[in-house]
Amino acid sequence: MRRSAARRAASRNGGAAAATVPATRRDDPDPGAGTPPARTPDAAALSDRRKEPATRLGESHKKSAAVPSQDKPPEEWSAEEIATQSAECDSLLASVEAEALLEPPLRVGQCGTPVPIRLSQIGSGDGVVLKPAALLNCRMVSRLYNWLETIAQPAANTHFKSRIVRLGNASAYICRNRYNDPAAKISEHAFANAIDIAAFELADGRRIDVKTYWGSRIEVAPASDAPKSDPAKQRDSATLRQTLKARTLTSGASTAPDAPRLVSTAAPLAADTSASGTGPGNNELAFLRTLHKGACGIFTTVLGPEANKAHHDHFHFDLAKRRNSAYCQ
């Protein structure tokens, strides 16, 4: 029997997970605190000399323990953060039909999420398969379900009289910066807050990939459109990347950048041509455009082939916090 991701997660872990809180460390006793020998002045002076550096060491130890470095993020999520996210997940996923597993809290430096969901199938009926399974946060799982049910599946029925059964080459969590640039901001993929989708497989065996039916038909800004590195920021970012290099957990091999870049297309397709469905591949293109446009009302960032060259072969959806409306390109 299919169950919601929230109920499946709860049945696996028996409720919200708890973070491990390191025990408070006590300072070592002052080795020079004993009573000094009283028989000779030399012995008393020697004791005083031993006592002075021991006291300074103790004070230094207390300061380092009381004022942790502001540059290094906590190694684990707090119990409160996990409990808050778990409660939100229960609410968001209560009506979501999905095959998913609740993973242990994930934190690798700045990356991760308190309640990661490994999503292998989502959607009503027989659902839509994600292979490999995508590691996402609960908000992304909820929005992805909404988009599939209200936009993607109806579009597949309209254009092909079929339904989507699989998301091709989908990738989600990966701990990296935007554009893999050490000076760039951290990617939403690093928070399990984004997904890339390269193709849609239908029940009738048809495969509609973004590159073939959209990306290869337009000209977009070259990869040099990526932001240039700021040497002043490279050292800290390089240190972070070196620390995370051997510990990164991914749900896919995508290294596609996700930074929005405004571009102009050299040979844009006319709107009436793309939607006519009369030429070779035009029906597929119209289908992809419908999916892209519909995602703009659900996700806060939607990037496709006309955003830049980096996205010529896939869609990027995320839930980055924005002050105003969604960014769609």
Task: Give yes or no for residue 223 having a pLDDT over 90.
Answer: no
61 pLDDT tier (thresholds 50, 70, 90)? very low
Does the pLDDT of residue 322 top 80, yes or no? yes
* Residues 210, 216: Cα–Cα separation, whole Å: 9
Model pLDDT, residue 179: 66
Structure confidence by residue, pLDDT tens digits, 68-113: 334 566 778 999 999 999 999 999 999 999 999 999 999 998 999 9
Res. 19: pLDDT tops 80: no
Measured at the alpha carbon of residue 266, what is the angle toward residues 327 and 218, in degrees to the nearest 5? Answer: 75
Q: Which residue has the tokens 């591949």?
A: 281
Judged against a pLDDT cut of 90, whether residue 123 lies above it is answered with yes
pLDDT digits (tens, 9 = 90+) for 159-171: 999 999 999 988 8
Give all strands (DSSP E) within the chain, no chain letters.
98-102, 106-108, 111-113, 117-122, 128-136, 164-168, 194-197, 199-202, 207-209, 301-303, 315-318, 327-328
Average pLDDT over residues 220-228: 44
Reported pTM = 0.63
Is the previous residue joined to 132 through a cis bond, with omega within 30 degrees of 0?
yes
Amino acid identity, position 47: S
Range with top average pLDDT, 63-67, 136-140, 320-324: 136-140
Among candidate residues 203, 134, 207, the one with its CA nearest the CA of residue 164: 203
Confidence of residue 18 (pLDDT cuts 50, 70, 90): very low
What pLDDT was estimated at residue 229? 46
- Please provide the average confidence, as pLDDT, over all residues in the chain: 72
R_g (Cα) of the chain, nearest Å? 27
Q: Are 194 and 172 in contact (CB under 8 A)?
A: yes
Residues contacting residue 191 through CB under 8 Å, at least 6 positions apart: 111, 112, 113, 137, 173
Picking from 128-132, 167-171, 270-274, which range would have the lowest pLDDT averaged per residue?
A: 270-274
Question: CA 194, CA 299: separation in Å to the nearest integer?
Answer: 9
Backbone phi and psi for residue 23, each to the nearest 5 degrees, phi listed first: -65, 145
As a whole number, mean pLDDT of residues 10-22 equals 39
Residue 196: band (very low, low, confident or very high) from pLDDT cuts 50, 70, 90: very high
User: Considering the chain, what percentage of its residues have pLDDT values greater than 90?
Assistant: 48
Q: Is the pLDDT of residue 314 over 50?
A: yes
Distance CA 67, CA 57 (A): 16
Compare 231 and 250 and report the one with higher pLDDT. 231
CB 160 within 8 A of CB 206: yes
Which residues are CB-contacts of 4 (< 8 A; sequence separation ≥ 6)? 93, 94, 95, 96, 97, 98
**Tokens of residue 241, six digits:** 């990347």
d(CA 237, CA 329): 28
Neighbours of 281 (CB within 10 A): 16
Residue 298 pLDDT exceeds 60: yes
Taking the CB of residue 263, how many other CB atoms lie within 10 A of it?
16
Q: How confident is the model at residue 127 (pLDDT cuts 50, 70, 90)?
A: very high
Q: Which residue has the tokens 């778990």?
A: 86
pLDDT higher than 50, residue 272:
no
More confident residue, 135 or 19: 135
